[in-house]
Amino acid sequence: MQELYAYIKDCDNVLIASPIYFSELTGKLLDLGSRLQTYFCAKYFRKEEPIIKSKKGAVILVGGGDGNINNPYDTARILLRHMNCHNIHEAVFSHNTNISPAI
Ligand SMILES: Cc1cc2nc3c(=O)[nH]c(=O)nc-3n(C[C@H](O)[C@H](O)[C@H](O)COP(=O)(O)O)c2cc1C
């Protein structure tokens, strides 16, 4: 994570891309996302500003079924805000990859 923290601090924008698992981002992505809680702690408890640079954010989702993207998109936006992304693009997504290719 130390390498990722340094990268997140410096990068211009953040794009989160994930398949939808159980109406959520994948568990692996949430594992990584949970380590971003350090930014929340820095702000909320220590009153620090861990990431100075403001970034834009975007989210790409694919799902096998025809459900909706609200849950994973909401979660992705929480993660993006943890990384100081404020200008977050509307979700780009593809449903029904069980029967048609995501492309
Ligand atoms: C554990 C698991 C849970 C899934 N849950 C959903 C779901 O809730 N909604 C949906 O539309 N697709 C669901 N899918 C289908 C995947 O979103 C879809 O097949 C995706 O293309 C899988 O990408 P991957 O091959 O990179 O894992 C699920 C797939 C897996 C393996």
φ/ψ region of 27 (left if φ > 0, alpha if ψ in -120 to 50, else beta) reads alpha
Global confidence as pTM: 0.94
- Structure confidence by residue, pLDDT tens digits, 25-37: 999 999 999 999 9
- Percent of the chain exceeding pLDDT 70 equals 100
- Structure confidence by residue, pLDDT tens digits, 45-83: 999 999 999 999 999 999 999 889 999 999 999 999 999
Q: Residue 54 C-alpha to ligand 1 middle, in angstroms?
A: 32
32, containing H or E segment = helix 27-34
Q: Residue 21 C-alpha to ligand 1 middle, in angstroms?
A: 5
In this prediction, residue 102 carries a pLDDT of 82
| Domains of the chain with bracketed CATH | 2-94 (3.40.50.360)
Taking CB atoms and a 6 Å cutoff, what residues make up the pocket around ligand 1? 19-23, 62-65, 67, 97
Between CA 87 and CA 78 the distance in angstroms is: 13
- Structure confidence by residue, pLDDT tens digits, 89-99: 999 999 999 99
Q: Residue 19 C-alpha to ligand 1 middle, in angstroms?
A: 6
